[in-house]
Each structure stands twice: as structure tokens, then as C-alpha cells.
């Protein structure tokens, strides 16, 4: 999301006319690190470090997994294991329905590659939301503390993915005959103590709305990144949102959270939701770790619509 915000700023300043902004993450290929190997220390042991944990899933300031802070949020706000499991089930149900009805076809670009047995494979649908077994959810053990509430089922999965958006000025789009899907109306960042990161989106969203000259009541749909179910539940409660208006086609619990891609992905999902429902304004927000969060306000271009009976035929 920060890449999209920086691209928007460059276009607003007139230093660029068109920018492709987004990100990617191949979490399954994150390497192990062997520090100090170049120092030629021949005596003693070397320790392998999991770069996925060190650079992505562990808070760099407190040096603890982000899930520990999510557990603290759940305890402080009284969000139970049952609440989180119910949220996860809804997330998977929404994502599975969207996939089954072809609603993701306008968002997913098919990728063809050569498999391990030299056969050509094409991925044209999300793989995560088809793996869910609700009957196993309640029996999953907590991950971050023995009596905790967060499990592999109500947290986002280790995922690979990429997302990108094309940003231009209105003048550039009109000059080159490009279809405008939506407008960026405001964006902002917010920060608090690292252990408070799960609720930082609730701070960033009002700041972005203020920049856009809008109020919470003006917003039709929200995308709040589901790093953990508790993150979405906590921010819904703090902002007084209806769950019917948040992550309407599922979120990162059911679709995965490839860290560098999720910000751009939820913006695209927000635009798709607005276009399908013919609504005007949406907000996407994501926590960044370290106590930070970013939020962006989107307005749908009035002429851009998607229809469920047609979208299955579009690529």
C-alpha cells in the first residue's frame, strides 16, 4: 500500500504521469540466513536464522512474533477464540463463494509455469480458500501461548502472491483513452506502540478520511487486512463498522497474506467490490508491523461497473 501512496504523491507533484505500483512476496521461498559466515570464524557453531520470521513475522523492536501482540489485543478487548474462529469461517465462506461464482476472475491474472515434472501448469484461481475444513478448526492448537486464542485457522497463512495497480493522472488517462476504474481521494499513516499494531488501522482510517474531506458514514465498503481474525474484529469494533461492509469477498485469513502484496491486493478487492455493488466510496487499511498502519480512500469512477452475470466471462 505504501508503494501506491508514494506513486500517488509523485503523480500529484507532477514528477510522473503514470506509475505501476504494487508488491510481491514468495513466503514459501524465504531463505534461511547464516550470519557472520564471511568473518571466517572457524571455531564454534553457526546458527541458521529463518528470514521469514526475522524480516516478516517478528516485531523488530520487541523481537517477538507479531502473533504475541495479536494475543494481547484479543485479551485486552475480550475477543474470544470462538469469536475469531467464527470470523475465520465467514472469511472462508465469502472467499469460496466469490471464487465459485467467478467474481475473482476480474482480479486474478492466470500464471503459467513449468512444474517439477516438466509439465505446464496454469494457476488461475486462489488456492487457499478451497483448503478449509471448518470441522477441524475448533481442534487446532493455539500457536503463540498455551492458553491462547490464535491458531493456524484464524490467522493468515504463509502464501506467495503479487499485486499491481496502474496509477495515472486523470489527464494522462483521458489523453491515452484509458478506462478509469477509481480515484484516490486521500491516504494516511498512523503509528502507536509496537504491541498495539493490531488496532493501528483504526487510527489511520480517520486520518485518511480527514484528508479526503469525508466521514466514516460516507464510506460504503471497507477492506481491513486480516493478518489475524482478531485484527479485523478489533478494528470493526473500534470504528463501529458492520461486518457486512468489511472484506465482502473474504480477506487474508482465507486468501493468504503474502506480505509485500497484500496492500495492493486489498485496494484492488475494494475497487472490485464497489464496482459490483455500484457503490461510491471505500477505504482500505493495513497494519505494517512495528505499530504502524496505512489507510487509503477510494472513489469508484461512476462509469465503471462489474456485473455478476458477466464477470465470469471476463479476464
Given this model, what pLDDT does residue 42 score?
67
Q: Residue 21: inside a domain, yes or no? A: yes
Q: Residue 42: inside a domain, yes or no? A: no
Task: Supply the CATH number for residue 61's domain.
Answer: 3.40.47.10
Q: Residue 20: inside a domain, yes or no? A: yes
Tens of pLDDT, residue by residue over 47-97, are: 899 999 999 999 998 999 999 999 999 999 999 999 999 999 999 999 999
Q: Residue 16: inside a domain, yes or no? A: yes
Whole-model pTM? 0.94
Count of structural domains, the chain: 1
State the Cα–Cα distance between residues 115 and 127, nearest whole angstrom: 16
Residues of the chain with pLDDT under 50: 313-315
**Order of strands, sheet of 221-224, starting from the edge strand that comes earlier in the sequence:** 182-191, 292-300, 281-289, 221-224
Given this model, what pLDDT does residue 314 score?
46
Q: Residue 40: inside a domain, yes or no? A: no
Given this model, what pLDDT does residue 291 score?
94
Q: Which of 152, 156, 164, 151 is nearest to 264 (CA)?
A: 164
Q: Compute φ and ψ for 192, nearest 5 degrees.
A: -150, -170
Q: Residue 41: inside a domain, yes or no? A: no
Q: Residue 71: inside a domain, yes or no? A: yes
3-state secondary structure of 162: strand
Tens of pLDDT, residue by residue over 103-141, are: 999 999 999 999 888 899 999 999 898 888 999 999 999
Q: Which domain holds residue 91?
A: 2-31+54-311
Q: Residue 37: inside a domain, yes or no? A: no
Place of cell 517439477: 116
Place of cell 493495513: 286
Q: Compute φ and ψ for 208, nearest 5 degrees.
A: -65, -40
Contact partners, residue 243, CB within 8 Å, separation at least 6: 90, 236
Given this model, what pLDDT does residue 310 score?
73
Q: Which of 255, 27, 250, 37 is nearest to 160 (CA)?
A: 27
DSSP letter (8 states) at residue 156: P
Cα end-to-end span (Å), the chain: 24
Amino acid at each position: 500500500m505504501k508503494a501506491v501512496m508514494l506513486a500517488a504523491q509523485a503523480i500529484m507533484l507532477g514528477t510522473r504521469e503514470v506509475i505501476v505500483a504494487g508488491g510481491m512476496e514468495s513466503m514459501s521461498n524465504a531463505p534461511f540466513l547464516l550470519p557472520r559466515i564471511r568473518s571466517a570464524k572457524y571455531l564454534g557453531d553457526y546458527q541458521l536464522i529463518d528470514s521469514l520470521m526475522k524480516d516478516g513475522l517478528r516485531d523488530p523492536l520487541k523481537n517477538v512474533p507479531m502473533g504475541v501482540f495479536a494475543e494481547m489485543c484479543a485479551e485486552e478487548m475480550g475477543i474470544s477464540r470462538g469469536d475469531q474462529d467464527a470470523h475465520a469461517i465467514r472469511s472462508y465462506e465469502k472467499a469460496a463463494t466469490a471464487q465459485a461464482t467467478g467474481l475473482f476472475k476480474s482480479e486474478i491474472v492466470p500464471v503459467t509455469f513449468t512444474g517439477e515434472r516438466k509439465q505446464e501448469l496454469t494457476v488461475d484461481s486462489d488456492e487457499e480458500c478451497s483448503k478449509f475444513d471448518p470441522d477441524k478448526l475448533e481442534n487446532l492448537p493455539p500457536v503463540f501461548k498455551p492458553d491462547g486464542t490464535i491458531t493456524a485457522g484464524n490467522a493468515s497463512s504463509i502464501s506467495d502472491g503479487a499485486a499491481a495497480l496502474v496509477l495515472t493522472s486523470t489527464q494522462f488517462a483521458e489523453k491515452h483513452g484509458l478506462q478509469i476504474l477509481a480515484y484516490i481521494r486521500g491516504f494516511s499513516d498512523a503509528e502507536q506502540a509496537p504491541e498495539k499494531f493490531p488496532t493501528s488501522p483504526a487510527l489511520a482510517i480517520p486520518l485518511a478520511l480527514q484528508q479526503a474531506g469525508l466521514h466514516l458514514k460516507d464510506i460504503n465498503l471497507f477492506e481491513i487486512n486480516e493478518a489475524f481474525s482478531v485484527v479485523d474484529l478489533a478494528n470493526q469494533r473500534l470504528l463501529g463498522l458492520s461486518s457486512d461492509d468489511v472484506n465482502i469477498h473474504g480477506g487474508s485469513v482465507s486468501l493468504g497474506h503474502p506480505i509485500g502484496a497484500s496492500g495492493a491486493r486489498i485496494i484492488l478487492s475494494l475497487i472490485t467490490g464497489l464496482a459490483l455493488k455500484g457503490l461510491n466510496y471505500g477505504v482500505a487499511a493495513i497494519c505494517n508491523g512495528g505499530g504502524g498502519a496505512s489507510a487509503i480512500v477510494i472513489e469508484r469512477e461512476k462509469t465503471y461497473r462489474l456485473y455478476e452475470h458477466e464477470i465470469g466471462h471476463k479476464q
